[in-house]
A and B are shown apart, each in its own frame.
Chain A
């Protein structure tokens, strides 16, 4: 039944480590996203992927890299983790407009990352 899933739900790690967060959607959507929600609850888009093509790359450090092995997955790799990377990371997906499906982004449950 899970529409958009993320693993892990919680991730605690040391500064300087490299980590990955996985995202999978079973909705048949064409576009997937990564968002960062900081401690003040501000939600900001990081990446958008459509047919393995990066559409949006906001001012995100190149330590962050999205990897999409197929249309149903968009993983987030983070190298050399810093204290400021601590946040909740959300994956989302949406269909292409005009295909008779509701043009809305569906969010995963979030991954809480804590960098010590």
Chain B
């Protein structure tokens, strides 16, 4: 079984600043994936970044990067140069290797202030 915990219900950041969203997880799987999804007010679930657990190198996607600490089961998301369009709910998720069982955290509502 997998569980995902996001301990920050809400966060805010000034435009152009950097913010880090926390996520911890627990899994009995040896191989698994970790994800961050963004859900703006439009409700669409958008993949932000993806990490394969067997890869030690932290994933990066432009302004988005993760700090993956496998031993600590921690998977935080760093957003650099925050933009107004980054305002959204952010969900951390873990998935089994065959991707058939994805579990989500409770989400963090991020507000980017002008």
Using CB atoms and an 8 Å cutoff, list the residues of chain A in contact with chain B.
31, 33, 40-45, 48, 50, 55-56, 88, 90, 92, 94-97, 102-107, 109-110, 112
Contact = CB atoms under 8 A, between A and B. Distances in A.
A42 to B, nearest CB: 6
A45 B107 CA distance: 15
Nearest to B47: A104
B97 A104 contact: no
* 8 nearest CB pairs, A to B: A107-B45, A43-B104, A94-B99, A110-B43, A103-B99, A41-B107, A55-B100, A48-B100
Contacts, number: 58
Interface string B38-67: 010011110100100000000000000000
Describe A's contact surface by its main secondary structure.
strand
A50 B39 CA distance: 26
B95 interface: yes
B89 interface: yes
A83 B31 CA distance: 39
A104 B104 contact: no
B100 A103 contact: no
Contact of A96 (B43, B91, B98, B102): B98
B50, B100, B101, most chain A CB atoms within 10 A: B100
